[in-house]
């Protein structure tokens, strides 16, 4: 041990001792007002640490953590053993989630761009600037939100835009993330979100990963699955992927397919089920119908006969599927044999591979279709389960409905009854809600980046809890022109400087995670709640407060939309005695629990689609509950593990084993779709010979703004890279670690090559993670999207890889020849 | 803090020291005289040029099995690590350093430690080669995993140093002001020589000997690793126990 290290250790030991001494003198956590965590809810340990529950801030898995706070700061994290999702286990991001609050460059004050520089201003000025921009032209104002919005945040924003401004230009980043999963569920079952849940991972005999790498992206779920092997259970894991990953290392079968050809694989399974007679006749006869696209291209398509369905699949023979996909015919037979065996329990998992796909709705519905055709549905372990990437993509975006065309609880703006119900619930005058859907994400940024005189009808976007500067595809098209246009204005509420705050005109510092009350909804229909546990830094404030403050400013200026039909403020809130609380004043915001008030107002919306939510206070006592949460005669609330199946779902009609009670055909049936394979819009060619796939890595969450500020995660994965096949590297003369240029028709980045690293793509493919804002790979990706979901395809486009010209050798003085 | 009860351990400790020294002395004594640590130099092998130790032939090994001499013996002893009967430092003097050393690769007490060596990035299959039983190679200790059943090691444990060759553009973001919960120093005792309660929860740390076994840090080692039922005498710190048996409380 070197002297330096010993000295350091001694200093550390002394520091620890002083901390212990300080603790012994009785310093306690800063008190949080009554609407935040109450003292009796935290459990205190002898070391002066108060522990309380919260869902993890990061992905859609929805683990619960125990947050340890002392002296007003988070000091420790533990996995929550009472949480059914994670049973005490976390991943490396979750164990370090507390550190996400303490990067030293947290935003602490509102800032307005002035002469190119962001200059600190007061909150009053900032709220005034936003109100000015809205008054300029309320119809040209847009909000771009997030699957990281809490449920109350999403609900308040939706009400503000659609109920207050009669403006439907509100869309979330989840459009880039799981929109195709939504359209897949809607087209198949008539209602969104998975029927099964994570319990299926405990019961499945076979788990199929469709373009999915849960070992890195949903690590706790992956462990829940493979740790069964340590206990002597047998599971067959099949990885259908376009590159080898850490998940592949645990799989018995790896089926490597050519990008986009997953449609052919699914059709190949269905073909063999029919050919071999191993499809489930009874299940299909009772519960299913067949469907194909219609000429108008509507989401619900048109009915097709069973005979037509069989004929449509006729050409998807194993040999033909092998030709299209590159997966050997015997592996297609393997899949079909597994699906053809009803004694097995089969769970399918998928996430961005199937969703970020120009045929995303198609592949989503085909995966459901294979399960329905084979009858692998409706028993524990038999489930097609789509996973989400964000902690509340389901709870906020999909259930509250913060999309350009939706209203709360599965309603849509184009439906008269839905608008009418929503107006009544919000106590608005009839006709307040605009029946025309607003701009979806790509259209919103296109309209912002197009000059007003050319029809670019969005002048201002307020970005909340997301980072489009890094995550929008084809940024050169969707962002750069707007940044340069003086008529356009970008507002960004966030917690750290990001690629978006760097181009924003107004930057607002937000409270994050346990610095505020919150509610999330995870991938398995589980609604979760947490209390504020520490104060946000500087002048950072809750996102809901920011919105309500703007609404109140407009109200005070006389904006009619900010009043309900009785002239009350749109966000009227009262205390237990019925007295109005001015929550738009920050010092009064925590006089009541605003989250609770908003959630209780939202809750009745959940009944239409049988997604019943329990009262706020029930969630406060639970580690989340899976809807429908149905009140029992004894007053308790029962969650539902498997929808549409009589063994668990109380809404299935008596006498039926399975009932799809939101069927698009109103007959209790789900739709089995035929969707043909077709080539993707951009494929490698001689100029751009490689497929590019983008994605995530274990250590970093999405655009890395939080995780790149956590030392343990940053050191383990400090920068983006391009992963390529060793044969390609050898052919191009590229060394491991060499900096190369990854270039598409849209843009280019320079990143180092990592050979034989975390994963390995096949020859002709490369992979680049998107977490690193210094190498924004979304300059390169494609902005073309699925026709139904409007979700862009980040998983495939054509690129070329070029070596960089050697940097010029350092200048040296010419050596003087010595005389002979 | 151990002074009050160290007498109780004195007799067995003394015995242990004597026995250990006797065994070590016997082994060492039968070899060559203790080396000062410099390599043996045998002229006929040209050792001066390479500075390396000569490899003994099979014949010489048969005839004089300990040709490697004291150096080899000493190395083997170190490889073996402290034996179960080796003395444990009960003075407490090494504890602050040992705990601080342990804290170096943990964000807070209870955090999963980061990995101080390169790993295979695409699979966790190799981890258990060393960490299943645990081993010691000179100064380096591979602790046996304290939690069975978990197979995706890299889910929680990440490397301290990035594996990407080049590390070309640096890490980017700056300092993090998080201050983690410090390690507990000592479990509470009912009276001066009562067996201490564990000062930490044991969830995910069920294999006590992972840290408290013969290869553990000096101040953490048990004086009696041969008694394998730890919880027979040491009650579990229950403050953060989250057992479902306690019902679904708000926490």
Q: Are residues A355 and A485 in the same domain?
A: no
Residue A406 and residue A170: Cα distance in Å, rounded?
10
Q: What is the pLDDT of residue A103?
A: 95
Burial call B66-105: b when 16+ CB within 10 Å, e when fewer: ebbbbbbbbeeeeeebbeebebbebeeeebbbbbbbbbee
Residue A44 and residue A32: Cα distance in Å, rounded?
15
Choose the final residue of a domain: A386, A406, A428: A386
A770 lies in which domain range?
A: 690-803
Residue B223 pLDDT class (50, 70, 90 cuts) = confident
Q: Are residues A140 and A273 in the same domain?
A: no
In a domain, A532, yes or no: yes
Residue A379 pLDDT class (50, 70, 90 cuts) = very high
Residue A550 CB neighbours (<10 A) = 24
Q: Are residues A440 and A548 in the same domain?
A: yes
Q: What is the pLDDT of residue B94?
A: 86
Q: Using alpha carbons, select from A157, A224, A686, A209 the residue that is nearest to residue A396.
A: A157
How many beta-carbon pairs under 8 angstroms link A with B?
A: 240
In a domain, A76, yes or no: yes
Yes or no: say if A520 and A152 are a contact pair by the CB < 8 Å rule.
Answer: no
Q: Are residues A165 and A117 in the same domain?
A: yes
Q: Which strand ranges, in their side-by-side order, compose the sheet holding A206-210?
A: A253-256, A236-241, A206-210, A346-350, A383-386
Q: What is the pLDDT of residue B7?
A: 45
Question: What SS3 state is found at A320?
Answer: helix
Q: Residues B166-217: pLDDT tens digits?
A: 555 555 667 999 999 999 888 889 998 899 999 888 889 989 999 998 888 8
Is it the case that residue A540 has pLDDT exceeding 70? yes
Higher pLDDT residue, B217 or A724? A724
Span A98-102, mean pLDDT?
A: 97
Question: What SS3 state is found at A113?
Answer: strand
Q: Using alpha carbons, select from A352, A393, A355 the residue that is nearest to residue A62.
A: A393
Residue B139 pLDDT class (50, 70, 90 cuts) = confident
- Interface touch A715/B161, C-beta < 8 Å: yes
Q: Please give the full DSSP string across A494-546, using - where no structure is assigned.
A: ESS--TTTTT-SEEEEB--GGGS-EEEE-TTSEEEEE---SPPSTT-B-HHHH
Q: Are residues A331 and A185 in the same domain?
A: yes
Is it the case that residue B14 has pLDDT exceeding 90? no
Span A668-674, mean pLDDT?
A: 98
Q: Are residues A201 and A148 in the same domain?
A: no
Is it the case that residue A42 has pLDDT exceeding 80? no
Choose the final residue of a domain: A386, A411, A438: A386
Q: Give, to the nearest 10 degrees, the angle between helix A329-339 and helix A262-276.
A: 60
Rg (C-alpha) for chain A, rounded Å, is: 27
Note whether B174 contacts A: Cβ–Cβ < 8 A. Answer: yes
Q: What is the pLDDT of residue A815?
A: 47
Residues of B in contact with A718 (CB under 8 A): 162, 164, 167, 170-172
First to last CA, chain A: 55
Residue B125 pLDDT class (50, 70, 90 cuts) = confident
Q: What letter would DSSP give residue B86?
A: S
In a domain, A560, yes or no: yes
Query: In chain B, where are the structural domains located?
Result: 3-32+59-164+176-241
Residue B183 and residue B216: Cα distance in Å, rounded?
16
Q: Are residues A93 and A116 in the same domain?
A: no
In a domain, A640, yes or no: no
Which ipTM was obtained for this model? 0.88
Q: What is the pLDDT of residue B33?
A: 43
Residue A466 and residue A149: Cα distance in Å, rounded?
9
Residue A660 pLDDT class (50, 70, 90 cuts) = very high
Q: Are residues A495 and A566 in the same domain?
A: yes
Note whether B238 contacts A: Cβ–Cβ < 8 A. Answer: no
Residues of A in contact with B240 (CB under 8 A): 43, 45, 51, 66, 78
Adjacent-strand bridge partners of A288: A670
Q: Tokens representing B169?
A: 């553009």
Span A416-437, mean pLDDT?
A: 98
Q: Please give the full DSSP string across B17-47, using - where no structure is assigned.
A: HHHHHHHHHHHHHHSSSPP-SSPP--GGGTH
- Interface touch B100/A12, C-beta < 8 Å: yes
Q: What is the pLDDT of residue A221?
A: 97
For residue A268, give the CATH number of its domain: 3.40.228.10
Residue A106 and residue A113: Cα distance in Å, rounded?
18
Q: What is the pLDDT of residue B45?
A: 43
Q: Are residues A263 and A339 in the same domain?
A: yes
State how many domains chain A has: 4
Please list the active-site residues of A: 93, 177-178, 352, 389-390
Q: Are residues A305 and A440 in the same domain?
A: no
Q: Are residues A792 and A727 in the same domain?
A: yes
Choose the final residue of a domain: A82, A101, A120: A101
- Interface touch A719/B169, C-beta < 8 Å: yes
Q: What is the pLDDT of residue B43?
A: 44
Residues of A in contact with B159 (CB under 8 A): 715-716
- Interface touch A737/B164, C-beta < 8 Å: yes
Residues of B in contact with A767 (CB under 8 A): none
Note whether B140 contacts A: Cβ–Cβ < 8 A. Answer: no
Adjacent-strand bridge partners of A518: A530
For residue A586, give the CATH number of its domain: 3.40.50.740
Q: Give the mean pLDDT of chain A.
A: 93
Q: Are residues A195 and A262 in the same domain?
A: yes
Nearest to B152 among A77, A103, A219 (CB): A219
Nearest chain A residue to B117 by CA distance is A716
């Amino acid at each position: 041990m070197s002297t330096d290290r010993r000295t350091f250790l001694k200093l550390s030991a002394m520091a620890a001792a002083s901390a212990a001494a300080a603790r012994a003198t009785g310093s306690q956590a800063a008190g949080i007002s009554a609407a935040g965590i109450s003292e009796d809810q935290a459990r205190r340990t002898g070391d002066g640490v108060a522990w309380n529950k919260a869902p993890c801030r990061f992905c859609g898995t929805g683990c619960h953590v125990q947050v340890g706070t002392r002296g007003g700061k988070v000091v420790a994290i533990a996995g929550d053993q009472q949480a059914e999702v994670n049973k005490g286990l976390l991943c490396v991001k979750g164990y370090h989630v507390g550190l996400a609050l303490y990067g030293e460059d947290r935003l602490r004050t509102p800032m307005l761009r002035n002469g190119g520089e962001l200059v600190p201003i007061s909150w009053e000025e900032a709220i005034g600037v936003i109100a000015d921009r809205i008054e300029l032209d309320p119809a040209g104002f847009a909000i771009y939100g997030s699957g990281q919005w809490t449920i109350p945040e999403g609900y308040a924003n939706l009400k503000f835009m659609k109920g207050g401004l009669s403006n439907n230009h509100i869309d979330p980043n989840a459009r880039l993330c799981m929109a195709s999963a939504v359209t897949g569920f809607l087209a198949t079952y008539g209602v969104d979100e998975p029927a099964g849940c994570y319990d299926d991972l405990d019961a499945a005999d076979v788990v199929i990963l469709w373009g999915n790498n849960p070992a890195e992206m949903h690590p706790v779920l992956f462990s829940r699955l493979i740790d069964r092997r340590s206990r002597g259970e047998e599971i067959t894991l099949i990885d259908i992927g376009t590159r080898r990953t850490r998940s592949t290392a645990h799989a018995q079968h790896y089926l490597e397919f050519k990008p986009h050809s997953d449609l052919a694989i699914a059709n190949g399974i269905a073909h063999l089920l029919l050919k071999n007679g191993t499809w489930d006749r009874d299940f299909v006869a009772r519960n299913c119908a067949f469907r194909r696209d219609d000429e108008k291209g509507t989401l619900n398509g048109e009915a097709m006969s069973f005979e037509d369905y069989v004929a449509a699949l006729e050409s998807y023979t194993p040999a033909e599927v092998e030709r299209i996909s590159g997966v050997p015919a015997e592996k297609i037979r393997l899949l079909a044999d597994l699906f053809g065996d009803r004694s097995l329990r089969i769970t399918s998992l998928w996430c961005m591979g199937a969703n970020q796909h120009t045929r995303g709705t198609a592949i989503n519905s085909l995966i459901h279709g294979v399960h329905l055709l084979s009858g692998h549905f409706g028993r524990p372990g038999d489930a097609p389960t789509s996973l989400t990437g964000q902690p509340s993509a389901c709870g906020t975006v999909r259930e509250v409905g913060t999309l350009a065309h939706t209203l709360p609880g599965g309603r849509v703006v184009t439906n008269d009854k839905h608008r009418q119900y929503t107006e009544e619930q919000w106590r608005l005058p009839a006709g307040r809600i605009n029946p025309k859907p607003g701009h979806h994400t790509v259209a919103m940024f296109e309209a912002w980046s197009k000059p007003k005189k050319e029809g670019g009808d969005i002048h201002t976007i307020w970005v909340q809890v997301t980072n489009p500067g890094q995550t929008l595809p084809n940024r050169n098209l969707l962002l750069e022109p707007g940044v340069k246009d003086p008529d356009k204005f970008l507002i960004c509420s966030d917690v750290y400087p990001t690629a978006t705050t760097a181009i924003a005109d107004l930057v607002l510092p937000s409270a994050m995670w346990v610095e505020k009350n919150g509610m999330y909804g995870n991938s398995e229909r589980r609604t979760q709640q947490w209390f504020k546990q520490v104060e946000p830094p500087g002048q950072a404030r809750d996102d809901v407060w920011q919105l309500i403050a703007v609404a109140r400013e407009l109200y005070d200026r006389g904006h009619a939309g900010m009043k309900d039909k009785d002239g009350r403020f749109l966000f009227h809130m009262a205390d237990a005695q019925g007295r109005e609380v001015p929550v738009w004043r920050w010092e009064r915001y925590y006089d009541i629990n605003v989250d609770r008030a908003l959630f209780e107002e939202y809750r009745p919306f959940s009944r239409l689609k049988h997604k019943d939510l329990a009262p706020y206070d029930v969630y406060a006592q639970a580690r989340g509950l899976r809807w429908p949460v149905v009140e029992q005669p004894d007053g308790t609330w029962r969650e539902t593990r498997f929808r549409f199946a009589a063994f668990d779902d109380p809404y299935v009609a008596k006498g039926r084993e399975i009932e799809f009670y939101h069927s698009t055909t109103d007959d209790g049936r789900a739709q089995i779709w035929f969707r043909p394979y077709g080539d993707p819009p951009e494929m490698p060619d001689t100029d751009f010979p490689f497929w590019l796939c983008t994605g995530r890595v274990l250590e970093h969450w999405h655009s890395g703004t939080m995780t790149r500020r956590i030392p343990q995660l940053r050191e383990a994965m400090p920068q983006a890279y391009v992963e390529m096949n060793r044969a390609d590297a050898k052919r191009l003369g590229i060394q491991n670690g060499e900096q190369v240029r990854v270039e598409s028709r849209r843009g280019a980045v320079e990143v180092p090559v990592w050979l034989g690293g975390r994963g390995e793509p096949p020859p002709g493919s490369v992979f680049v993670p998107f977490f690193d804002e210094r190498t924004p790979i979304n300059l390169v990706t494609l902005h073309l999207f699925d026709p139904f979901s409007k979700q862009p395809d980040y998983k495939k486009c054509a690129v070329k890889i070029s070596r960089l010209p050697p940097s010029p050798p350092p200048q040296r003085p010419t050596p003087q020849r010595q005389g002979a | 803090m151990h002074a009050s009860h160290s007498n109780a351990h004195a007799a067995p400790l003394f015995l242990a020291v004597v026995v250990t020294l006797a065994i070590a002395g016997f082994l060492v004594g039968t070899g060559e005289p203790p080396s000062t640590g410099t390599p043996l130099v045998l002229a006929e092998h040209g050792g001066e040029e390479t500075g390396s130790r000569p490899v003994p032939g099979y014949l010489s090994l048969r005839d004089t099995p300990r040709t490697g001499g004291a150096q080899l013996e000493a190395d083997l002893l170190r490889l073996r690590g402290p034996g179960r009967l080796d003395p444990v430092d009960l003075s407490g003097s090494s504890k602050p350093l040992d705990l601080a050393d342990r804290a170096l690769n943990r964000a807070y007490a209870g955090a999963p430690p980061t990995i101080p060596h390169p790993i295979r990035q695409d699979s966790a299959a190799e981890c258990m080669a060393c960490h299943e039983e645990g081993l010691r190679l000179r100064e380096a200790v591979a602790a046996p995993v304290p939690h069975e059943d978990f197979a995706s090691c890299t889910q929680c444990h990440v490397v301290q140093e990035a594996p990407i060759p080049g590390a070309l553009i640096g890490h980017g973001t700056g300092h993090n002001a998080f201050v983690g919960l410090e390690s507990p120093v000592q479990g509470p005792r009912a009276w001066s020589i009562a067996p201490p309660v564990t000062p930490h929860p044991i969830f995910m740390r069920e294999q006590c000997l992972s840290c408290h076994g013969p290869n553990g840090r000096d101040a953490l080692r048990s004086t009696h690793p041969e008694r394998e039922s730890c919880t027979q005498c040491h009650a579990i710190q229950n403050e953060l126990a989250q057992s479902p048996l306690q019902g679904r409380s708000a926490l």
